[in-house]
Amino acid sequence: MSRAFLSRDWNRRALGMALVAIVIALGLLARPQVGAAQSNREADGARLLKGALDLHFHMDPWTPGALNGQAGIAEVRLARLRGMRGLLLKDHNEPTAQLAYHLRPEVPGLELYGGFVLNLPNGGVNPAGVEFMATHIKGEPGRIVWMPAGDTEKEVRASKNPNGPYVAVSRNGELLPEVKQVIAIIAKHGLTLASGHVLAEEALMIFREAKRQGVQHMIATHAFDLAGKMTVEQMQEAAKLGVFIEFDYRNTLEGGRTDAIRKVGPQFSFLSEFWTKVSAPKEYGGLEGVGAFAEAMRSHGFSDRELDLMFKDNPAKALGLK
């Protein structure tokens, strides 16, 4: 075989390979607008989650028959991977300061805190339990006390067991003495008071009493939802008392909630529960999802600075952190 023939054959192969490379390159260049948008959203999500605090991170053990559980250690580790500042662990039926204490060495670099919900399994309105959390756990991981959530009279009356026991916080328009005692303990130890699921009118009574007793940090728990749903006017009144208004990330873009945030003021609001997918398979802190959320919030007129306030600065202030 002649050298000329080999040379021509090699040139044909080289030309063919070059054409294939050009086709591939053109395909890659033409392909994503979608991929580029997704990449930009992921970068936006990563920026927003870095330094964020989630003050409503449910770690309730799920019942045996449940199909879809709450967060676990995998999501805690994911929060650290995302560069989040910290998580406030919540369980409706057990104190979580002990859980935070034991998880802290396992997930260094992530601030973990716990709290106490005044529900029936925790003794209801239980001053002794709150005092123990505040004073008997090394490192003081217990930072918040929620009023009843799930065990309020309204919720029990609407449940499958409407005549069951419930946790009361007021009677005849007055707060119960033990509620005032819990508020005094919160004030003494610099804890955060959250309204749980009590009626909006009761929440405002509690906030007024807390302010009178010197409580510095207060939260209206997911104020647009569930049994404790507030009107915008009630949220504004709470904000004037120094209360931060909590909105649920998962439904913030629905039902007029963005308008409520604007009327209350982003400086008095924060977002929590960063579940970017809530149906199976659940996903916590998905970068593309958080980026898409930020994009949607900007379309509603919110600036990056306001988003940072609601993901980072205000949750830290609500928990009394620097």
- pLDDT tens per residue, range 29-43: 444 455 777 799 999
Verdict on whether the full-model pTM lies above 0.75? yes
- pLDDT at 38 (0 to 100): 73
- pLDDT at 17 (0 to 100): 58
DSSP sequence for 149-202: SS-SHHHHHTSS-TTS-----EETTEE-HHHHHHHHHHHHHTPEEE-TT--HHH
| Residue labelled with tokens 């204490």 | 101
Q: Do the beta carbons of residue 286 and residue 260 sit within 8 Å? A: no
C-alpha span between 267 and 274 (Å, rounded): 19
Specify the amino acid at residue 207: F
- pLDDT at 26 (0 to 100): 47
The tokens for 37 are 């948008």
- pLDDT at 31 (0 to 100): 47
Q: Do the beta carbons of residue 12 and residue 44 sit within 8 Å? A: no
* 181 CA to centre of own chain: 28
C-alpha span between 273 and 228 (Å, rounded): 17
Specify the amino acid at residue 70: Q
- pLDDT at 32 (0 to 100): 45
- pLDDT, one tens digit per residue, over 106-159 is 999 999 999 999 999 999 999 999 999 999 999 999 999 999 999 999 999 999
* Positions of the chain with pLDDT under 50: 4-6, 10, 20, 22-32
Q: Do the beta carbons of residue 184 and residue 215 sit within 8 Å? A: no
